[in-house]
Amino acid sequence: MGVVIEREEWALTPLAYPLLSAASLAALLLLPYFSPPPHAAASHSPFDAGTAPFLRFRRAFLFVFSLASVAEGIQSVFGEDEFVRCGLGREQMAARLAAAAAAALFLGGFSGVVSDKLGPRQACIFYWMLQLAVGTLKSFSGLRCAWINNLISALASSMFYFCFETWFVVEHEKQGQKQDLLFDSFWLMTFFESMSLVGSQGITNLLVNDDYKGFLLPYAFVALISIAGILYVRKNASSTTHHASAIGSYQKSFFAHVFRDKRVLILVLAQASIHFSMSAFSFLWAPTIVADGRDTNLSLIYPCFLASRMFGGASFPWFDGATAPFRNEDSLTIAYITAGIALLIVAYDYQEIGTLVILFCIFHACVGFILPSLARLRTMYLPNELRGGMMSFSLGLANAAIFIVLMQGAYHQNIANSTILGFAACGLLVAGGCIHMLRRRRKHTRQDTRSQVDKRRISRLRLFPGVAVLLSCIVCGSTMVDVPEPGALD
pLDDT of residue 212: 53
> 252-268: per-residue pLDDT in tens?
888 888 888 888 999 99
CB 431 within 8 A of CB 278: no
Return the top range by mean pLDDT from 20-29, 54-63, 122-131.
Answer: 122-131
Q: How far apart are CA 472 and CA 362, in angstroms?
A: 10
pLDDT of residue 407: 84
Backbone CA torsion sign across 421, 423, 429, 431: negative
> 389-401: per-residue pLDDT in tens?
898 899 989 999 9
CB 314 within 8 A of CB 188: no
Residue 367 has pLDDT above 90, yes or no: yes
Q: How far apart are CA 457 and CA 40, in angstroms?
A: 15
Q: How far apart are CA 235 and CA 245, in angstroms?
A: 25
Q: How far apart are CA 310 and CA 194, in angstroms?
A: 5
With a CB cutoff of 8 Å and minimum separation 6, the contacts of 283 are 97, 406, 410, 420
Buried b (16+ CB within 10 A) or exposed e, 391-413: bbbbbbbbbbbbbebbbbbbbee
Residue 423 has pLDDT above 90, yes or no: yes
In this structure, what DSSP letter does residue 6 have? Answer: E
pLDDT confidence bin for 482, thresholds 50/70/90:
very low
CB atoms within 10 A of CB 300: 13
Q: How far apart are CA 262 and CA 253, in angstroms?
A: 15
- Sheet containing strand 2-10, edge to edge, reads 295-296, 2-10, 481-489
Out of 1.10.390.10, 1.10.150.530, 3.40.50.11890, 1.20.1250.20, the CATH code matching 54-243 is 1.20.1250.20
Q: How far apart are CA 158 and CA 272, in angstroms?
A: 12
Residue 246 has pLDDT above 60, yes or no: no
Our measurement of the distance from residue 333's CA atom to the centroid of its chain's CA atoms, rounded to an integer in Å, reads 18
Q: Where are the domains of the chain?
A: 14-36+248-480, 54-243
More confident residue, 49 or 451: 49
pLDDT confidence bin for 475, thresholds 50/70/90:
very low
Q: How far apart are CA 136 and CA 337, in angstroms?
A: 42
| Percentage of residues in the chain having pLDDT higher than 90 | 18
SS3 call for 30: coil
CB 10 within 8 A of CB 295: yes
SS3 call for 329: helix
pLDDT of residue 362: 94
Phi-psi region of 225 (alpha: psi -120 to 50; beta: other; left: phi over 0): alpha
With a CB cutoff of 8 Å and minimum separation 6, the contacts of 254 are 113, 386, 389, 390
More confident residue, 87 or 286: 286
Query: How far apart are the two ends of the chain, measured CA to CA in Å?
Result: 6
The arrangement of secondary structure in 14-36+248-480, i.e. its CATH architecture, is: Up-down Bundle (1.20)
pLDDT confidence bin for 299, thresholds 50/70/90:
confident
pLDDT of residue 480: 43
Q: How far apart are CA 307 and CA 311, in angstroms?
A: 6
pLDDT confidence bin for 67, thresholds 50/70/90:
very high
CB 373 within 8 A of CB 327: no
pLDDT of residue 445: 38
Kindly report the average pLDDT of the chain as a whole number. Answer: 78
pLDDT of residue 374: 92
With a CB cutoff of 8 Å and minimum separation 6, the contacts of 213 are 141
Read off the pLDDT of each residue in 47-52 and give the average, rounded to a whole number: 64
> 433-469: per-residue pLDDT in tens?
989 888 776 644 333 333 333 444 444 444 444 544 4
With a CB cutoff of 8 Å and minimum separation 6, the contacts of 82 are 144
CATH fold match for the domains 14-36+248-480 and 54-243: yes
